[in-house]
Amino acid sequence: MKARPHLLLFAALSIACTGREPLHPPEGSTPDPSVSVAPAPPKRVVLSIVGTNDLHGRVQALPWLAGYVGNLRAVRREGGGGVLLLDAGDMFQGTLESNLLEGSPVRDAYGVLGYAAVAVGNHEFDYGPVGPAATPASPSDDPRGALEALAKAAPFPFLMGNLRVKATGARLDYPNMPASVIVESAGVRVGVVGVTTEKTLETTISSNVQDLAVEPLAAAIAREAASLRQKGARAVVVLAHAGSKCKHFTNDLAKDGCDANEEIFNVVHALPKNAVDAIVAGHTHAGVELPGRLILDVELGLGHGGAPSCWVRRRAGTLGAAAVRPCRPCAR
């Protein structure tokens, strides 16, 4: 069978760190305290966010991704920058090679690739208990045992910020499955929040999630983003397994045929201003744009989406889009 084109989406964040270069007087001289010396401008650190989503077990796409990310990391290292590799969910279910081992080939490959964090999508619940049965066969079976096992053995966190236990209202909390996390790249602390679509309970095997409830995405994101800022995050990235679709990518929603009534658009409009800096979206298997905002959505391995490149410069504690180029394939 002819191989389909593999596409990857990424955005580069240019962040001006608060640290400043020390100023030294000429050797042997004494500084004049009456002379005011302008401080050096803050150093600029370039972080590339590589966002993937909806792999659905297609491990054959990952060797190409490994080469691309390796080259990008080498380039960023030369300039003192870094790369954050993130995924917005639906990683495991969908191919024989992944399903037979309940997603562990993808998890292990992601570990080798150096993913910093991933979001839990609706299809992460499809495997049910550990073992061949997709649903609990007895009351002692854990309906989410396979997902728990995947996360527990992963070298990166599975983020799950808006799923709650229906009976208590408490957030669903498993080992290595927090709502958000702070990761560091090139000395910059970046907060990452993970949420899943409000349709999650309708779009997986119902018996595996019947005791759960879904919190609105914007409320969960806003809460976690505020907490991450308080903990020292310089920027906040959302991994949202929710999306929309656009037919073209020219930064004109009307002309580009974007479905502005879909979930990710509603989430963005509901968020407080400057609450987050970038969103890696997913679920709809289609590219998304929102002029003036950084939303990344591509399905790795199927040929949807492209590689919009956004440079975002940090000034006075916020990030603002400086330029957005149209989507384009970055590999064929």
Within-domain flag for 39:
no
Nearest residue to 71 (alpha-carbon basis) of 162, 27, 10, 122:
10
pLDDT recorded at residue 230: 97
Report residue 38's pLDDT band, with 50, 70 and 90 as the boundaries.
Answer: low
The angle formed by the CA atoms of residues 330, 331 and 332, to the nearest 5 degrees, is 140
- Residue 54: give the domain boundaries: 9-18+44-324
DSSP bridge partners of 241: 196
Report residue 245's pLDDT band, with 50, 70 and 90 as the boundaries.
Answer: confident
Contact 279, 238 (CB under 8 A): yes
Average pLDDT over residues 249-267: 82
Of all residues in the chain, what percent carry a pLDDT higher than 70? 74
Average pLDDT over residues 60-68: 91
* The two three-digit tokens of residue 267, written as one number: 């989430």
Average pLDDT over residues 104-118: 97
Within-domain flag for 34:
no
Average pLDDT over residues 80-99: 93
Q: Which is more confidently placed, 261 or 232? A: 232
Contact 182, 190 (CB under 8 A): yes
Within-domain flag for 305:
yes
Q: Kindly provide the residue ranges of all beta strands, DSSP E only, lying in the chain, ordered along the sequence.
A: 9-16, 44-52, 82-87, 117-119, 158-159, 163-165, 180-185, 188-196, 212-214, 235-241, 278-280, 295-296, 310-315, 318-324
Strand (E) or helix (H) holding 148: helix 145-152
Q: Are strands 188-196 and 235-241 parallel, antiparallel or unpaired?
A: parallel
Within-domain flag for 331:
no
Is residue 109 helix, strand or coil?
Answer: helix
Within-domain flag for 240:
yes
Within-domain flag for 38:
no
Report residue 112's pLDDT band, with 50, 70 and 90 as the boundaries.
Answer: very high
Query: Which residue, chain included where needed, has tokens 């619940």?
Result: 125
pLDDT recorded at residue 304: 31
Nearest residue to 124 (alpha-carbon basis) of 142, 105, 86, 151:
151
Q: How big is the chain, counted in residues?
A: 332
275-291 pLDDT, tens digit per residue, is 998 888 889 887 776 65
Average pLDDT, the chain: 79
pLDDT at 251 over 50: yes
Report residue 274's pLDDT band, with 50, 70 and 90 as the boundaries.
Answer: confident
Query: Which residue, chain included where needed, has tokens 């879909």?
Result: 262
Looking at the structure of the chain, the number of domains it has is 1
Q: How large is the C-alpha radius of gyration of the chain?
A: 21
Report residue 50's pLDDT band, with 50, 70 and 90 as the boundaries.
Answer: confident
Within-domain flag for 23:
no
Within-domain flag for 62:
yes
pLDDT at 233 over 90: yes
Average pLDDT over residues 312-325: 32
Residue type (1 letter), 211: D
pTM of the model: 0.81
- CATH number reported for the structural domain that contains residue 120 in this entry: 3.60.21.10
Q: Which of 62-71, 125-134, 214-223, 321-330 comes out lowest in average pLDDT?
A: 321-330
8-32 pLDDT, tens digit per residue, is 334 444 444 433 333 344 445 455 5
Report residue 5's pLDDT band, with 50, 70 and 90 as the boundaries.
Answer: very low
